[in-house]
Amino acid sequence: MSRQDIKPAGMALRLPGKRTPEQRGVLVLALVLRLASSIRAVLDRELAPFDLTMQQAGLLSHSREKTLGQIAAILGTDGPGMTRLADRLEARGLLARRVHPSDRRAVVLEPTPAGAALVPEIKRRFRTTRLALTARFSGPELDQFLDLLEKLGESVEGERAGASPHILGLPPRVRRHRGRTVARRADKLSPHVSRSRSHDRGGRG
C-alpha cells in the first residue's frame, strides 16, 4: 500500500491563494468526511482476502469476552449496527455468543477457532496500514493533530446533543498528554444536557 491511496481526497479540495474563514470551515469538514471514506476503502481492500470489512474485522479482533455494548463503544458503532455485524460473523462461523461468566443476564462475544485464527493477521494489517498512513507525520505533529481532532470531536458531540459544550461549561476530562496533565472537556454530554434542560423547564414553571 502506498500513501497515494488517500491523496486524491486532499488534492481535489485544495484551494489556491488565501482562504476565507468560510472556505476553511468547508474544507475541514469536507476533508474529514472524504478521508474517513478513503481510509475505510483502504482498510477494506487490505482485508478483502478474508472477505471482511473494516468494521467486521474490528469487531472480530476486539471480541474476546466483551459484550456488544463494550465493543460498540470501542469502535464507535451504534448498537443495532453492531448486532448486524455480529450476526454476519456468527453466520460465517467466525464468532460465537455465550453467557457472561459472572452475569447470566449478559451475553459476551468470543471468536470461534476459525475466527481466532484470523485475528493475528487482521491486527498485522491494521498496524501496517496505520503506519503507512501516518509515516509522513512526526511525533509532535501527530500529537497536535490528535488535539485538533479531539477539539472537533467535542464540537460534533455538542451538536449531536443539541448544545455547545463550551456554553454548557462542562467539567474537564483530565488525561495524560506528553508527560503532563491536560484538561479536556468531558466526552459524555447527554447527562449534562438532560440536567440542564430539566432545570430550565423547572425554572419556567
Give per-residue pLDDT as tens, 35-47: 999 999 999 999 9
- As a whole number, mean pLDDT of residues 23-31 equals 87
**What integer pLDDT is reported at residue 148 of this predicted model?**
93
**DSSP one-letter string for 49-106:** GGT--HHHHHHHHT-TTEEHHHHHHHHT--HHHHHHHHHHHHHTTSEEEEE-SS-TT-
Q: What does CATH list as the number for 3-134?
A: 1.10.10.10
Q: Would you say residue 131 has pLDDT above 70?
A: yes
For residue 158, name the pLDDT band (cuts at 50, 70, 90): confident
Spell out the domain ranges in the chain: 3-134, 142-204
